[in-house]
Chains A and B, each alone.
Chain A
Amino acid sequence: EAQVTQNPRYLITVTGKKLTVTCSQNMNHEYMSWYRQDPGLGLRQIYYSMNVEVTDKGDVPEGYKVSRKEKRNFPLILESPSPNQTSLYFCASTLWAGQHNEQFFGPGTRLTVL
């Protein structure tokens, strides 16, 4: 089944404790991105990747890192999480960056930073 998977689905952590949220897609998509969803703000892009070893900042990159060593994986790293990073996070992928291509979203990761 074609899908985008994220792990963990739920995570409660404390300020300053490094964490990684994994994202994997099995559709051989080139373009992947991370969003955070906050009430009243919709989805905002954190980072995106056009292909392996090519990443760039989105609208709200502060406090996050990403890597793209393999085409299928695009982990989101929070080196020192803070309470303002409490949010619902979505990974998405698309065949390649283009208006015609549908983005496929993962199920989301709900992160709480205490």
Chain B
Amino acid sequence: AQSVTQLDSQVPVFEEAPVELRCNYSSSVSVYLFWYVQYPNQGLQLLLKYLSGSTLVKGINGFEAEFNKSQTSFHLRKPSVHISDTAEYFCAVILSSNDYKLSFGAGTTVTVRA
């Protein structure tokens, strides 16, 4: 069974428009949640992470995500995107406090157009 589901495989968006990338996970216990970005021809880079505490997490490059335990979601948002935000975005989870292995979603490709 898929541990992490990214609901959109492709998200086209116009420059300066907002974007939301959806991520749901399947776990009934404590989880640790991450968003990574992969720019073209590069490795993955951490955008933000939720380990505990405030459910609204702010990351680099103006991105933020909200952990919603009741909906088992961790959606990523940016209020105004730039052309340079064109990339593939991966949601990842560590599924328990006894584990450290990252499980990745399938990825969402964001294409920002002028």
B-binding residues in A (CB < 8 A)? 4, 31, 35, 40-45, 48, 58, 90, 92, 97-100, 102-103, 105-108
Contact = CB atoms under 8 A, between A and B. Distances in A.
Contacts of A98: 100
Given A40-B9, A102-B46, A108-B43, A97 B100 contact: yes
B107 A42 contact: yes
Closest 9 CB pairs of A and B: A105-B43, A42-B104, A97-B100, A105-B44, A43-B104, A99-B32, A42-B106, A107-B43, A102-B46
Q: How large is the interface on B (under 10, 10 to 19, 20 to 34, 35 or more residues)?
A: 20 to 34
B102 A4 contact: no
B42 interface: yes
B43 A106 contact: yes
B19 to A, nearest CB: 19
Interface of B: 4, 6, 9, 32, 36, 41-46, 49, 51, 90, 92, 94, 97, 100-102, 104-107
A57 B36 CA distance: 23
Contacts of A42: 4, 6, 90, 104-107
A43 B90 contact: yes
Given A90-B44, A97-B100, A98-B100, 6 more contacts: A35-B104, A92-B44, A99-B32, A99-B94, A99-B100, A107-B43
A102 B51 CA distance: 12
A35 B107 CA distance: 14
A48 B101 contact: yes
A45 B101 contact: yes
B90 A4 contact: no
Contacts of A41: 106
